[in-house]
């Protein structure tokens, strides 16, 4: 346990789900970790830059406080492997707890 507060909408989720920007704004997280791989988003190559420039997203505490972390681990390494999960936890500790 890293001692970080998890939003209720996340703890109640039964599976991975999409969040609208409005729901994200209601949660107003202190930090956001994003994974984006161009090869997986060939139909929307500008999706990441458009999200980062969206006024709702820019109004989030995480955005205002420079706590949006993009690809803290290589997008090709993301997923369910133990290695990728450990690397992600290392990134959380390095970026939020030090």
CATH of the domain at 60: 3.40.50.1980
Q: Is the pLDDT of residue 46 over 90?
A: yes
More confident residue, 76 or 97: 97
Q: Which domain holds residue 37?
A: 21-97
Average pLDDT of span 46-60: 96
Q: What is the pLDDT of residues 60-77, one digit of tens each?
A: 999 999 999 997 776 666
- 37 CB contacts (<8 Å, ≥6 apart)? 75, 76
d(CA 18, CA 20): 7
CB atoms within 10 A of CB 42: 8
pTM, two decimals, is 0.80
Q: Is residue 85 part of a domain?
A: yes
Q: Is residue 8 part of a domain?
A: no
- The number of folded domains in the chain is 1
Q: Is residue 80 part of a domain?
A: yes
Q: Is residue 1 part of a domain?
A: no
**3-state class (DSSP) for residue 72:** coil
Conformation bin of residue 74: beta by default, left when phi > 0, alpha when psi is -120 to 50: beta
């Amino acid at each position: 346990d890293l001692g970080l507060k998890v939003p209720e909408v996340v703890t109640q989720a039964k599976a991975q789900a999409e969040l609208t920007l409005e729901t994200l704004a209601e949660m107003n997280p202190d930090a956001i970790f994003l994974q984006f791989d161009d090869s997986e988003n060939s139909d929307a190559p500008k999706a990441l830059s458009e999200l980062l420039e969206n006024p709702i997203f820019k109004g989030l505490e995480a955005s205002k406080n420079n706590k949006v972390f993009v690809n803290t681990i290589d997008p090709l390494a993301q997923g369910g492997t133990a290695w990728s999960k450990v690397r992600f936890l290392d990134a959380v500790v390095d970026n939020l707890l030090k």
